[in-house]
Structure 1
């Protein structure tokens, strides 16, 4: 039985900002997206979208429930994780719930970097199951939205192009030899529209001045092997997931990765999956890249309709549109607005005067290719 909350049933949920404290600086572009005048960079450079995941932060910056999204329904705020648990089949469908439970099985974020992020590495799912007693590692993907004004290209550091031996890496981390650590990488240039995947075990960092959508496994596991960013030094317990440096080093894949290999293995090319008159859908990340989530893009002008057979978090990449659901529900969305589309609504209508694009993020084992698209 659906929750007795007016207007919850049979409509998407438009999501508001959900900013999260992080140890690096950024966020002025997110302020602009939210319509805040005079945006400034600070320690809230991320916006967690449709999240049922609680952020893990140093004790002095920890807030209960930080990272978990909420929605306002008839003047009352409801935590999304509680709504998910109350109505799991409505949000996710029976098959998803039987396999994964009452949560999306992935996390979506906006990230706005004023500076290069910490050099870091995340565990694989296998490592987490064996060593962290967790079902999740942290496979992540980036969709580049924009660069800061005056910046022609962005950078992402993906894997060691010049990997040190384990003991040499340990020494550089202990001594915080940032020059030496930086020399292990050749940064990859990125531009708006690029899609990059970062599997668990890959040492990496996002460069300065990049606004992107990050899609990842629903965890906050991280080995930060650079301790200080944004004028803040991470406490020892927050560097290696509450363990020691030797444990943290076990997370690393130290295989050399040339930039040519990174471009071939980690930069994803879109695959056209459907085109019908004024509408088209592309798969950006699918099962060939990961079993953790899928990422698609829909582009259209005029009016089209699509079936809904899976939970989805969608973000307006370009243009503006009117989104319609059952019962005459509509919402007008502009660039960078985000919306949660429950499994149970059945169908959406999409209307725009000019071309509009939506980024669509799906759980694993969903089948967006079976959702018919009609113009």
Structure 2
């Protein structure tokens, strides 16, 4: 039986300052009057802080509580017993709206084991991108080296800050709305200007940035204090040909099904994502902690307590304790969830 405390909750924009430009697509989606020049990331339903910060990045609920405090106060109500047995009081998920107003630098993220050894964290930072919109003539993302690279060569690129070589060594992938890319830990990558994504991540802020010059204040922020000699041990230096890229890239934009599983199979141990389109009917959603992003249209989330209206630009957190939901209306919703427990 649910209680009024466990209902889907609208959460406001949460845009901690970043080092790169962007934010117009986020403002347009939310129907906001303007955007921060350096507000390219909206951390939705976040219980994660920026690296080295005490509270920046945390989402606050409409009643004033931090979401992190609400979850840790009642983890079973928010996350469910099976999830708590596996992940304790962590949501095991960070969702962002990311609008690249300029190309992001070439960077990569640590695995769980590397993060445990060097950052005292249970989680590394595997991530995935769901392309929600694009602008410009050539919306492009970059993922994986086209050919296997020698670590000594990469080390030289980093020391010399040879941006053309770093970027030129990566696969460039032209994208359109509905495309998704799973980024395993260690994979070098970047997002090009004009690409707007819903991004799912493990709940950390560990970015090891090879191409730090003209982006970050110092190389220390690129290697997060562990030194590039150590950081580069987490880098995937292997080659990714078209066949291998096919295991992490999906093209779902033409699939108009009521429920579309968005991510490549390799993402399932880390998170899950679906596009939901009730199409004027109703979709039953099983109990789960979730973050919802409404990309278009309007509708309702019906619960045992009543209904919650939703519309384009809304972002919501859904506690497991809300029980089974019914999504109705003419809406397009991205549902992001932690891995199945």
Match of 1:211 in 2: 196
Match of 2:238 in 1: 255
Comparing 357-366 and 47-56, the one that deviates more: 357-366
Distance in 1 separating the partners of 2:139 and 2:229: 32
TM-score norm. by structure 2 comes to 0.92
Distance in 1 separating the partners of 2:155 and 2:285: 52
Match of 2:183 in 1: 198
C-alpha deviations, 1:288-319, integer Å up to 9, x for none? 43411111222212231414321111111232
Match of 1:300 in 2: 278
1:27 equivalent in alignment to 2:17? no
Q: Residue 197 of structure 1: CA displacement?
A: 0.5
Match of 1:372 in 2: none
Distance in 1 separating the partners of 2:171 and 2:280: 44
Distance in 2 separating the partners of 1:156 and 1:26: 16
1:69 equivalent in alignment to 2:55? no
SS in 2 for 1:71: coil
Distance in 2 separating the partners of 1:364 and 1:235: 35
Distance in 2 separating the partners of 1:249 and 1:288: 23
SS in 2 for 1:47: strand
Structural mapping, 1:1-150, within 5 Å: 8-39=4-35, 42-56=37-51, 64-73=54-63, 77-148=64-135
The higher-RCO structure (CA 8 Å, 6+ apart) is 2
Q: Residue 330 of structure 1: CA displacement?
A: 2.5
Instruction: Return the match for 1:240 from 223, 226, 231.
Output: 223
Q: How many residues align?
A: 341
Distance in 1 separating the partners of 2:315 and 2:94: 13
The answer to whether the Cα contact below 8 Å between 1:304 and 1:350 also exists between their aligned partners in 2 is: yes
C-alpha deviations, 1:302-359, integer Å up to 9, x for none? 231414321111111232212222222432x22231111111112323232xx42211
The answer to whether the Cα contact below 8 Å between 1:158 and 1:185 also exists between their aligned partners in 2 is: yes
Q: Structure 1: where are the runs of 5+ without partners?
A: 367-375
Q: Residue 125 of structure 1: CA displacement?
A: 1.6
The answer to whether the Cα contact below 8 Å between 1:157 and 1:205 also exists between their aligned partners in 2 is: yes
Q: 1:15 to 1:225 in 2, by over 3 A?
A: same
Match of 1:284 in 2: 262
Match of 1:365 in 2: 340
Q: Residue 34 of structure 1: CA displacement?
A: 3.6
The answer to whether the Cα contact below 8 Å between 1:141 and 1:196 also exists between their aligned partners in 2 is: yes
Distance in 1 separating the partners of 2:167 and 2:62: 44
C-alpha deviations, 1:216-271, integer Å up to 9, x for none? 11111111011134xx5332321112111101111111111124431x1211356x
CA RMSD of aligned residues (A): 2.5
Q: 1:307 to 1:201 in 2, by over 3 A?
A: closer
Q: Residue 131 of structure 1: CA displacement?
A: 3.8
Instruction: Return the match for 2:308 from 326, 330, 333.
Output: 330
Q: 1:307 to 1:254 in 2, by over 3 A?
A: closer
The answer to whether the Cα contact below 8 Å between 2:258 and 2:279 also exists between their aligned partners in 1 is: no
Q: Structure 2: where are the runs of 5+ without partners?
A: none
C-alpha deviations, 1:76-122, integer Å up to 9, x for none? x1100000011211111111112211221011000000111011011
